[in-house]
A and B are shown apart, each in its own frame.
Chain A
Amino acid sequence: MIQRTTIVFGLIAAGCAALALEALHARIMLRSEQARMAGSAELVRRAGLTDLALFTEARFARHPAMADLHTAFQDNPMSFEHFPSGTFAPRPASGFGRGALYFGAEEAVQ
């Protein structure tokens, strides 16, 4: 009869092997994925893009890096949130009315 330890150790070894296979898969895919990312980077360079096209509803969602500094209230005083993607904006770092996507002077110097 097969001992319990043999089965369980076998399962753990299979789990380790699966994890190693996944790491290998990531490694193998890297070459083709790098070519794909290089293609995107080339488009970014040629067109002069600055942002990811993830959320297209409003300018502060489509171009968070380019958006005005006080985006939360910019369209009307009650506009806390227009879109679900607004939840992507980090909470204010300190105090009221200062979005954390804004870079402070100390960060900009870095």
Chain B
Amino acid sequence: MTGWLRRQRALADYTLAALARRRVKNAGLLLIYALVVFIVASATLFSSAIRKEAEIVLAEAPELIIQDLVMGRHAMISGELVEELVGIRGVSGVKGRLWGYFYDRVNGANYTLMVPLDETLVPARGEAIFGEALPRTRGLNWDKAPLFLSRFPGDLFRLNPAGRLESDSALVSADLILIGEEDFRSFFELPEGVYTDIAVSIRNSREIGTIVEKAGRLLPHARLITRDEISRTYQKLFSWREGIMVVLAGACVLAFAVFAAEKASGLSAEETREIGILKAIGWDTGDVIAMKLWEGGLISIGAFLLGTVLAYLHVFAFDAALFASVLKGWSVIYPDFALTPMIDGLQLSALFFLTVLPYTAATIVPIWRAATADPDQVMR
């Protein structure tokens, strides 16, 4: 065993000396390889972190949302339906949700005004709870500063702050203005008895399918959105985004593949001669292949480690600064959020096998061909 180890170490030492002879070319290869791993790993780490975040946070969304559709578009829903839905067995609560948008001419941003479902969160008349981005973009620098919203020229609707939502929850609440029902209806001049949509709580999550079916029979024109669908919308959205990023990196990956294939498969005359000399002085085919395995392995493992370690730092310590606009998107009021650092072992292994193995394998085939040939023929 010690003999085998010593032999491998000698082979690795020889490989490193050979790599050092073409220092610039190999350093360039390592850096480009690491860059490719870095881009793909950044996209993967970011997407899996935000997917996980969305999954955990939206797990508390209402089990079922019922929207009314008129001419194929979302319309206000009658409050009378609440009574009918309560009658469905397995439904533990039905509440009309009131939420809507307001475009603020002052900063060109859209806010979401909403009446919270939980009554203990509803502010008093004339007061509102603001999301994290709102005071920031409207310049409400002190806690007691009121917010004035202008719906049309000459109009001012005053909302005194009842509190601010913590920046920790910015991902779901950055543009929110939580107000009471009376304020909401007077702000949007909304009649009594209608709601934006209806939130249904279901006692046993295994019954959601049955309840959706019953509610669908009761309200054939309505659109029913389950919590599972909400969650899947975001899983799709961020998987798609990751895909875009990987496609953008595709050009880089392709260029690298051409470069690596050229480097790995097209043996230079110098390398072929080197193999010939090694065989002539007594190396056998196994030694030559082991030496090249070391070369491919050292370069690809080095690039993988460098790329992955830097990608983690990039995404979680520097907020994915290099590709933030591609990965996160942008908006007039964008939430200021941090992601939970996480490393998904499965994804990391997939990345490892997709980068390290093909390169190492690509170096072996041409070497095997050269190494099995007659030294005299190879050197010629």
Chain A residues with CB under 8 Å of chain B are: 3-5, 8-9, 11-12, 15-16, 18-19, 22-23, 25-26, 29-30, 33-34, 36-37, 39-59, 61-62, 64-70, 74, 83-85, 87-91, 100-101, 103, 107-110
The one of B118, B223, B236, B343 in contact with A101, judged by C-beta atoms closer than 8 angstroms, is: B236
Interface residues on B, range: 35 or more
Q: Is the CB of B341 within 8 A of A29?
A: yes
Q: Could you name 25 residue pairs across A and B whose Cβ atoms are closer than 8 Å?
A: A4-B20, A9-B12, A12-B302, A15-B305, A22-B309, A26-B343, A41-B56, A44-B58, A44-B61, A50-B58, A50-B65, A52-B57, A52-B58, A53-B174, A54-B329, A62-B175, A68-B72, A68-B73, A68-B74, A84-B329, A87-B329, A88-B329, A108-B226, A109-B209, A110-B228
Residue of chain A at shortest CB distance from B213:
A109
With A48-B97, A62-B110, A100-B236 as known contacts, state yes or no: A108 contacts B229, CB within 8 Å: yes
Q: Is the CB of A19 within 8 A of B308?
A: yes
Complex: A8 Cα to B168 Cα, angstroms: 42
Q: Is the CB of B74 within 8 A of A66?
A: yes
Is B82 on the interface with A (CB-CB < 8 A)?
no
With A3-B13, A52-B234 as known contacts, state yes or no: A26 contacts B172, CB within 8 Å: no
Residue of chain B at shortest CB distance from A7:
B16
With A12-B302, A40-B168, A88-B329 as known contacts, state yes or no: A47 contacts B121, CB within 8 Å: yes
Chain A residue contacts of B334, Cβ below 8 A? 54-55
Q: Is the CB of A18 within 8 A of B309?
A: yes
Q: Is the CB of B343 within 8 A of A23?
A: yes
Q: Is the CB of B168 within 8 A of A56?
A: no
Residue of chain A at shortest CB distance from B16:
A4
Complex: A45 Cα to B234 Cα, angstroms: 17
The one of B65, B223, B228, B340 in contact with A29, judged by C-beta atoms closer than 8 angstroms, is: B340
Chain A residue contacts of B209, Cβ below 8 A? 109
Is B237 on the interface with A (CB-CB < 8 A)?
yes
Residue of chain B at shortest CB distance from A37:
B56
Complex: A84 Cα to B67 Cα, angstroms: 27
Complex: A17 Cα to B354 Cα, angstroms: 22
